[in-house]
Amino acid sequence: MAIELPEPGEPAAAPGPAPAPGSATGIGSAPGEDVREAFRVVLGELPDLPHLPELPARGPGADMVGRAVGLLAGLHGDVQPAGWRLVDVPGRDERRAVSWLGEDLDAAEELAGQADGAFKVQVCGPLTLAASLELPRGGRALADAGARRDLTASLAEGVAEHVAAVRRRLPRAAVVLQLDEPGMTAVLDGRVPTASGLGRLAALDRGEALQALRAVIDAAGAPVVVHSCAPAVDLRLVREAGARGVSLDASLLTARDEEPVGEALEAGLLLLLGLVPSVEPPAGTRLSGAAATVDPARRLWHRLGLAPERLASSVVVTPACGLAGASPAYFRRALALARAAGKVLTDDPEG
């Protein structure tokens, strides 16, 4: 059964169609270097909302930032000793990023080309990308207003082309875009280190951050979920930017976050909640069962005073973060647990 999200362009406060109750999905990254094997696991364990796996173990170009560099329109990047840097012409690492993404889309077309439900792809968001890329002469792109504007425009164009390419490969699927913004809180709080690591860059103006997110979300032409596995995510900013959902690590939510989470849910945002550990338990330690896994969601719901029957249709269960560091066996177990936990939310929301 497909996940249905509000169409882009609707007011952020407009309630959207409810998702399929009991849905589960992954954050994006997976272990290993065989995309077809990872994709078979995703399709088998996450039938309601499968996602395109990302395999950082393949090397530079398969990482979050490298994949985004491969999508940039008119801008180029390459790996330097300090990380990804903007350059004048495409280099080996960028070409490798483009090639790997093409291979991944080939796998999607081969294994899920006739899928008619929702299908999620992930792209690094503009704030985290600006904080991660260096300028040609050094220093982070985040520190240069012109570079920030150019990078946002380039990413927006590249995202639009990427979503269109996914639709060509999976013509019956409903594409959902996830913007990965693990650095958003640090960007807004002025906690991004300078290239030397000796200082901190000034906090980005919230209005400019909103414009950057909105530009990419509007360009996507698809429902967008903003993901961050950092604490203290600015949920109002996410809503104002036009996102249809937000993806958070449940273990990082504090009492201070509960009111913004409640407001986001009341505004119609879908909550992708990281309930399954992304790190394999130590040897001899058992992984919690599905019922225990969803207890944090039930408790949150109770504290927010929301109707229990809304829980399964408002929350999609996910791992806490990406699973690139997991073993292949745990990757499968984690996704299977997410799916089982989603079913528990449907069958027994009150516990």
The reported pLDDT for the residue numbered 13 is: 35
Helix (H, G, I), strand (E, B) or coil at 123: strand
Least Cα distance to 325 among 116, 22, 27, 9 occurs for 27
Res. 195 pLDDT band, cuts 50 70 90: confident
73, 154 Cβ separation under 8 angstroms: yes
Q: Give me the CATH code for the 35-347 domain, please.
A: 3.20.20.210
Res. 19 pLDDT band, cuts 50 70 90: low
- Model pLDDT for residues 46-74, shown as the tens digit of each residue: 999 999 999 999 999 999 999 999 999 99
Residue 284 has pLDDT above 90, yes or no: no
Query: Which two three-digit tokens encode residue 72?
Result: 């940039």
Query: How large is the average pLDDT for residues 16-37?
Result: 85
Residue 292 has pLDDT above 70, yes or no: yes
Helix (H, G, I), strand (E, B) or coil at 153: helix
Query: Which two three-digit tokens encode residue 120?
Result: 């999620």
Res. 3 pLDDT band, cuts 50 70 90: very low
DSSP 12-50: TTS--PPPPTT-B---SB-SSS-HHHHHHHHHHH-SSS-
Residue 347 has pLDDT above 50, yes or no: yes
Domain ranges of the chain: 35-347
Adjacent-strand bridge partners of 193: 200
What is the helix (H) or strand (E) element at residue 344, kind and residue range? helix 328-347
Lowest mean pLDDT among 97-101, 128-132, 134-138, 346-350: 346-350
The pTM of the full predicted model, rounded to 2 decimals, is: 0.92
Would you give the distance in Å from CA 285 to the centre of its chain? 29
Query: How large is the average pLDDT for residues 1-12?
Result: 38
Question: What's phi and psi for 257, nearest 5 deg?
Answer: -85, -15
- Entry field: residues in the chain: 351
**Mean pLDDT of all residues belonging to the chain:** 92
Helix (H, G, I), strand (E, B) or coil at 292: helix
Residue 9 has pLDDT above 50, yes or no: no
Question: What's phi and psi for 179, nearest 5 deg?
Answer: -90, 120
Res. 198 pLDDT band, cuts 50 70 90: confident
Query: Which two three-digit tokens encode residue 54?
Result: 């990302």
The DSSP code for 157 is H
278, 334 Cβ separation under 8 angstroms: yes
Residue showing tokens 């495409």: 90
Least Cα distance to 77 among 53, 54, 55, 61 occurs for 61
What is the helix (H) or strand (E) element at residue 112, kind and residue range? helix 92-112
Helix (H, G, I), strand (E, B) or coil at 220: helix
- Model pLDDT for residues 155-172, shown as the tens digit of each residue: 999 999 999 999 999 999
